[in-house]
Amino acid sequence: MENKISVEVTEANVTNIDGSITDILDILTFLIKLEEGERHQRVMGEKYTGYVSTVNTAVNVVSSALPSSYSVPEFNKDMAALDKLEQIKAIVYSRLVEKLDDTILQLRHELIEQADHGYGLLKFAAQKGDESVKEELAKIQVSMQSLSNRYPASVLDVGAGLSVLVSKTTPDTRLINVGTTILDLDGGPDLRAQIKQATMRIMPGGSVMLPQGYTQIMVRNISTTDQGTFSVKVKQS
């Protein structure tokens, strides 16, 4: 089990970062927060960049032909401000946000791997008859059942190294791996293209929502020694 990140983030770290952001905001005192409705107003998207730039050039060339109520300097100021703010955003993203996102993603991966490993070890220990282990295992199983309590489910077993065909699925059907083995899904290349994951593999505790248009899918247990278990859940309206 790979562990790329092993670090302690302290409250002092959080406080110092918060203070540093305050220092940045003290520089960018003009930043605003829009109301929800204002976020849906007409804006200059990527495809209109050329249009806006061309108009800006034109009004600067023939500014004398425009009424005094139209402020060419303000247009120029907004163009320059947008350019600099996008530079700042790119710096913040590449030097901080992207690394934060990737680090959080890696930590979430390591946590689910550790949980999967620990759950498997607890199940093995429970077979020895330790009542305290069984009690903790029961708590985990209850928490796994509550992950998707909005979905009525049917639970299916798939033998070691075997496959199960799930048919008559409907839109918003979710497959959830509630066992301890890794499951592979085979719905053909079209399904793989629609579900945006690197592989069609469901780790223990993981799930996949099937896209519309698929009425069946093959679920394969890649373990050759242990039985797999998964649930088929359909979202309630």
**What is the value of pTM for the model shown?**
0.57
Count CB-CB contacts under 10 A for residue 233: 22
| pLDDT for 85 | 95
| pLDDT for 197 | 47
- Cα–Cα distance for residue pair 111/2, rounded to 1 Å: 11
| pLDDT for 195 | 55
Tokens linked to 38:
């204002």
Q: Which one, of 157, 207, 211, 197, lies nearest residue 177 by Cα?
A: 207
| pLDDT for 8 | 93
Tokens linked to 125:
């220990």
**Which mean pLDDT values do the consecutive 10-residue runs of the chain (237 residues) have?**
85 96 95 86 87 96 95 97 95 90 86 84 85 87 63 74 80 80 76 54 80 75 86 66
Query: Residues of 180-189 as b/e, b for ≥16 C-beta within 10 angstroms?
Result: bbbbebebee
| pLDDT for 81 | 96
Domains of the chain, earliest start first:
11-121 (no CATH), 150-234 (2.60.120.10)
Find out whether 183 and 202 touch, Cβ atoms under 8 Å: yes
